[in-house]
A and B are shown apart, each in its own frame.
Chain A
Amino acid sequence: MNGALGRALRGLREHAYLAAVSAGVIAAALVLLGVYGLVVLNLEAVVSGWQQDVHVSAYFVATATAEETAAARSELAGRPEVLKVELVTAEQAAAWMKERMPEVEPMLAELGPTALPASLEITLKDGYTSPAAMDAFAASLQASGRFGEIDYGREWVERASGFLRTLKLLGAVLGTILVLAALFLVGNTIHLVVYARRDELEILRLVGATDGYILAPFVVEGALEGLVASAFALVILEVVHRGVLSRLHDAVPVTFDEGGLQFLPAGPLVALVLVGVMIGVLASWVAVQRFLARLA
């Protein structure tokens, strides 16, 4: 390596301040990318939870008897698109309501045990959850005449995942801009380093150094700056993650899965480090090449 590492370390010592600025810019970009990744990851987990949770609530008409509801249940259980059917009796519905909203208890008591209709909670198989399929399914239930209201949150889930798709697209665009901006800023910082060392580079050229020999320590420096920046960014992300997590738990009992708010998994973490190193290396490379092209 022509002692590139040694020359890189000497370079870092000789312009420690500018090296720190470069690493800081890279770290800031990585933190922004990481925070964005965390947000998308966790929203995705929530929405996919909803998606698995797509089910149809079919409320029986008030006159339905226990025999009728049981018959409807077993009939539906036999249909190919149905994964699972659960019967919620009027009593169960009232109990659930009492538990969730104790203040409505007097009202329920007044209305009697059939204030809330019995219902079937139907979970559909994977292939039958498109909006069209669900509409058709709901229409067939309606046609049976047994049911009053039929609820399915499909549209809402669709809208949430549509929003998530937009968010991801926006993130890809903003992320690209962010990486380019970091490249530009780091490139300019390294350009200052190159400028401060122009005499040395001119002399190296004069005594017969190849471009590769001149570039190598700058590229190594860029990689080291990227590594330090990524380590720094990961620490900040972990702190942010913990802070948000504890605050979320205090504020709302949101239905995150057992793991709670997720941290980035290994893949994206490695990608983040690679992006940091890539910014450092590429910015150094371009800054030095541009300088060398002008040097005789």
Chain B
Amino acid sequence: MIRLYHIVKSYGDRDALRDVSLHVEKGEMIYVTGPSGAGKSTMLKLLYGAERPTSGKMLIGGADVSKMDNRQLPSLRRNMGVVFQDFKLLPHRTVGENVAMALEVIGAPTDSIRRRVPAVLNIVGLRGREEDKAGVLSGGEKQRVAIARAIVNDPAILLADEPTGNLDGAMAVEVMEILQAINLRGTTVVIATHDVGLMDRFPYRRLRFVDGKLVVGGIQPRSKA
């Protein structure tokens, strides 16, 4: 599903990622981990197209996205959900409106939006909360709304950058359980986190970065074998 070959990402003379090669298979759930500043967020930004690699090759679902231009972003993102530590919800709009945005932009018909939104809120355990303003929810609930918005289009890939970073223990576990459930339905899930306790509790393959280098879990590309 995701293939990276010798990916380098530099900001000026600073290398955020150095020669990263990795594979993530369809339906896999993996962690991108490492200390702060290791390049986890940069890794995810490359995957959802917020940044382009400085060099190297990157395939997502078979398509080469290493040199994609911004006009191709919408089609990439319609097949990918993204979740952040700070949720990125519109606090003055309702839970339902926040989730529906992801369907409206793809021109989904109103009746399908009316069907899909409650269904996906049910998956994240927020059934019946459509009319609540997003701003009044607890952190855990906000993150679940964000996840609902990310998966309402049935994307092939779900990316989560420190999804539990702002949540206390119980809420973090809830969110992880939801991500796990989504993965079980076949979605490829990539989670950036440095929370070792959580990774131990939900054990999946770890890609460990240190200072922009992938030190554990990468592949030895054929060219170097």
Contact = CB atoms under 8 A, between A and B. Distances in A.
B105 A204 contact: yes
B107 A200 contact: no
A140 interface: no
Interface in B56-87: 70-71, 73-78, 82
Interface residues of A, number: 16
B21 to A, nearest CB: 24
B102 interface: yes
A2 B107 contact: yes
Contacts of B49: 296
B101 interface: yes
Contacts of A202: 88
B3 to A, nearest CB: 22
B9 interface: no
Contacts of A206: 48, 77, 82, 88
A237 to B, nearest CB: 39
B86 to A, nearest CB: 10
Given A213-B105, A296-B45, A200 B77 contact: no
A206 B84 CA distance: 11
A13 to B, nearest CB: 12
Interface string A210-227: 110100000000000000
A203 B91 CA distance: 12
A208 B78 CA distance: 5
Nearest to B45: A296
Contacts of B74: 208-210
Contacts of B77: 205-208
A257 interface: no
18 contacts: A2-B107, A203-B89, A205-B77, A206-B82, A206-B88, A207-B78, A207-B101, A207-B102, A207-B149, A207-B153, A208-B74, A208-B75, A208-B78, A208-B106, A208-B153, A211-B71, A213-B105, A296-B50
Interface of B: 45, 48-51, 70-71, 73-78, 82, 88-90, 101-102, 104-107, 149, 153
Interface of A: 2-3, 199-200, 202-211, 213, 296
Q: Considering the complex of A and B, which 5 residue pairs feature the smallest CB-CB distances, nearest first?
A: A296-B50, A208-B78, A208-B77, A209-B105, A207-B102
